[in-house]
Homo-oligomer: A and B are copies of this chain.
Amino acid sequence: MNFSSETIENAVEQLSRFPGIGKKTALRMTLFLLKDKPEQVERMVQAISDLKTKVHYCKNCGNVCDDELCSICLSVNRNKKLICVVKEFQDIISIENTGQFNGVYHVLGGVIAPMEGVGPDDIAIAQLLKRVEDDQVEEIVFALSANMEGDTTAFYISRKLEPFQTRISAISRGIAVGGELEYADEITLGRSILNRVPYRVNS
């Protein structure tokens, strides 16, 4: 594209670095900023800068937070004896949005992937085992992706948990609520038959 201002060209260049944002959208964003009030733009710039200076990782679970510990770990209303194990902190946002989980979390920061050189010591497994021991955790729920890396990681951790009296579970896989059987892939459908649950009205 042909801009008569290097400043605009530079802004478009920078904004198109965002995932899924092309040059045309970046230009639209730039034009929006050009027309925006200076103090509004200043606020956006500050919010972006803050991401690099104010965001910390919870010392207990690895979730993002603004202090030493995250609001979930600090809450007295959460069940500390129930830990949901996730790969990344954004998974916590997804699960929290369901409003269905009252325990706490543990962010591994990755999954075991030998092909990519990620071993058990590269992710936060030792910290999880320490929490299980210190807090006498009663149940671990795996909320990892249903692929080889996710399954390997869950299997590895479950072996490490054997010495403890910890119940181990995993989020259920199956046909999406409202999903049509004929559009479901065979593996999902197969798993949902194997993991069938007792019938309840409105389950």
A residues contacting B by CB (< 8 A) are 1-8, 10-11, 13-15, 17-21, 25, 27-34, 38, 40-45, 47-52, 54-55, 58, 63-66, 70-72, 90, 92-93, 96-97
CB-CB nearest in chain B for A72: B4
Please tell me if the beta carbons of B4 and A63 are within 8 angstroms of each other in the complex.
yes
Please tell me if the beta carbons of B49 and A45 are within 8 angstroms of each other in the complex.
yes
What is the predominant secondary structure among interface residues of chain A facing chain B? helix
A13 contacts across to B, CB distance below 8 A: 47
A198 to B54 CA separation, bound complex (whole angstroms)? 66
Contacts A18-B29, A20-B25, A34-B51 given; does A65 touch B5 at CB 8 Å: yes
A90 contacts across to B, CB distance below 8 A: 27, 31
